[in-house]
Amino acid sequence: MFSHSTKSIIFAGFALFAMFFGAGNLILPAMIGVEAGGYAYPAVFGFVLTGAVLTVAGMIAAGSLNPGETRLADRVGPRFGLIFTTVLFVATAMLYPTPRVAAVSFEMAAVPIVGSGHLQLFFYTVVFFGICYVLVRQPAKIIERIGGFLTPVLIVLLIVLVVASYTLPDLNHEPIERYVHAPIANGLIEGYFTMDSLATLMYGPVIVGALAAAGFSGAKLRRGMAGASILAGSLLAACYIGLVHLGAVGNGANGAVVVTSVSHELFGRTGQLVFGLIIFLACLTTALGLLASSSDYFHKLFPKISQHTWLLIHLAVVFPLSNLGLETILSLVAPLNQLLYPITISIIVVALLDMALPKSRTLVWSYRLGTYTAVVLAIPEALNSTGIRAFAPLRTVLDLFPMGHLQMAWVVPTLLAIIIGLLYDLAGDRARRTVEA
């Protein structure tokens, strides 16, 4: 029915969706449905822009590597590219998201059934990471396993939950003030906290490798990458729009409570099991993507150490961290996201500009000025987010910038720096062509 190439793109797209779709992607849209009330759909439009559209853009940019390039961040400078990309992998695959998804899935899927406690968390993480080890052990099959089996099951469960929610009455929630005044802008900011754009620089090589193994190369590989990314982004957007309705018919102090209550109201005890399975699959597929991509990266960086050994090293780090509990994990390493996210977005934006310009153009200062500006403003934002009293005065300075009060003081200065760098690069190209003529 489908050609081999089409099947490969579909499997890759499904796998990408599942690797991006973690617990936060499930509960944040549901909470928008509660807090935004009648403004929920304008708000989710903003959420889709950062939670899906920006993610697709990041994947397409990550697939634009030229022959001989190993890291997109190397375009800023080889030393910067090595340091930044390595820190990105350590932070996301070892220190934060991987332990977080294990802890989140325990809190949301297992605790209602087995109860909370250190012993329960220990045995749960043994099982969780044991499954990860088995599935990641053969990296060549990871895309097929996620895209061909785990993702369809996850999507079917989500469809059942969302469709069934339309049998419940709308609660007509009173919107909170920020959504009344700027629903799209605040939805956009909520999408920022999915942190999926960070993962695009990690997942890109995995998907490119899977498509290359399926026979894609050159322009066909770039088209296949774009197709898989758009499929994944479309699935993410559809899920976000559907999940907002769960918030419209449910209630709770946070998105997890909202989705749990709706599941229980619709299906009773079975609903709790369905919700638990959705959470488990969403967190498992995210962990698989992070562990597979990171162990592959470090094996290529240090080829004398096997990929299997790197996988064991990753598990040796994430297992004890996940047993610290969710709140401890968030308080210890969340500031890393405030540091890495602005830098990642700056690189993605310039990479997309790079793809749109003729190959004869060379962008140097666009990458450097944009990225270094993001670094300068991301560092104080990350320090302030630690909650350490000595860094509290930084908030006053950051709030002087546009969008500073939203913890996004880096946005406008970085965009201006990219524009200045782009003008300088284009002027340099024109001057060089004039001399050559």
- From 304, 323, 342, give the residue that closes a domain: 323
pLDDT in tens, 361-395: 778 899 999 999 999 999 998 898 887 888 889 99
- From 277, 300, 323, give the residue that closes a domain: 323
CA distance 291 to 294: 5
- From 286, 301, 323, give the residue that closes a domain: 323
**Residue 412 and residue 301 in one domain:** no
**Residue 317 and residue 354 in one domain:** no
The region of weakest confidence among 49-58, 184-193, 408-417, 426-435 is 426-435
**Residue 318 and residue 337 in one domain:** no
User: Encoding tokens for residue 166?
Assistant: 């339309």
**Residue 400 and residue 287 in one domain:** no
Name the residue type at position 372: Y
Domain interval for residue 215: 4-323
CA distance 344 to 201: 8
CATH code at position 255 = 1.20.1740.10
**Residue 318 and residue 338 in one domain:** no
Q: Are 276 and 109 in contact (CB under 8 A)?
A: yes
Q: Count the domains in the chain.
A: 2
Neighbour-count burial of 334, counting CB atoms closer than 10 A to its CB (0-12 exposed, 13-18 middle, 19+ buried):
middle
CA distance 109 to 118: 15
CA distance 121 to 260: 20
pLDDT in tens, 31-59: 999 999 889 999 999 999 888 998 898 88
**Residue 319 and residue 339 in one domain:** no
pLDDT in tens, 75-118: 999 999 999 999 888 888 888 778 878 887 887 788 777 877 88
**Residue 232 and residue 345 in one domain:** no
